[in-house]
Amino acid sequence: MTTPILAGFQHRFEPGTDAAAPPLLLLHGTGGDENDLIGLGRALSPGSALLSPRGPVLENGMPRFFRRLSEGVFHEADVVRRAGELAAFVAEAREAYGIGAPVAVGFSNGANIAAATLFLHPETLAGAVLLRAMVPLKVMPAADLAGRPVLLLSGALDPIVPADNAARLAAGLEAARAAVTHTVQPAGHNLSQADLAAAGAWLARLTQSRAA
């Protein structure tokens, strides 16, 4: 099967079956690809259209969405560049597939590029589920995310994302007027069943509000 390419991104797209369910932009972690989160997207929001790009950066052969200097230390100029490229991809995909602004569902590196895109290109996303995200830029840009729903799920035992970093991201999103729900799960960097249940319930409520 040939993988389609839009704006330089190899990706998968699956049409939705519920008009009220938001399209999901699935953003994998380091070493994943466009297939990695399809099953998760289906489980979290069964009626949603799914748009899943492959990160365009390689680190030791593993796809990522932006470069880093070391674990937890990001190449900030590349973060800015790649967030712009992702925003352009979403714009082309919306036109190509006839979907509305998606809700990002990102894990780890994918969550970090989603957070950067919220701040740098706030028109791109209708909201976000940020799984194990951290602050993408040392100085978070001014953005108006008025009422934009964001679920941030952190791990109390996460060895990669310090608790104060996740809290600072939540505070930055709140300062941009996003409607933030920040939950700290009793887990590490990997996802738990509690994460999946929380994200699924949050997306179900979002679907219900859109249908009302």
CB 56 within 8 A of CB 9: yes
Please count the other Cβ atoms lying within 10 Å of the Cβ belonging to residue 64. 25
Q: Please pick, among 108, 121, 154, 195, the residue that the annotation labels catalytic.
A: 108
Give the burial string for 22-59 (b: 16+ CB within 10 Å, else e). Answer: bbbbbbbbbebbbebbbebbeebbeebbbbbbbbbbee
Q: What is the CA radius of gyration of the chain?
A: 16
Is 33 considered catalytic here? no
Is 108 considered catalytic here? yes
Is 158 considered catalytic here? yes
The catalytic site residues sit at 108, 158, 189
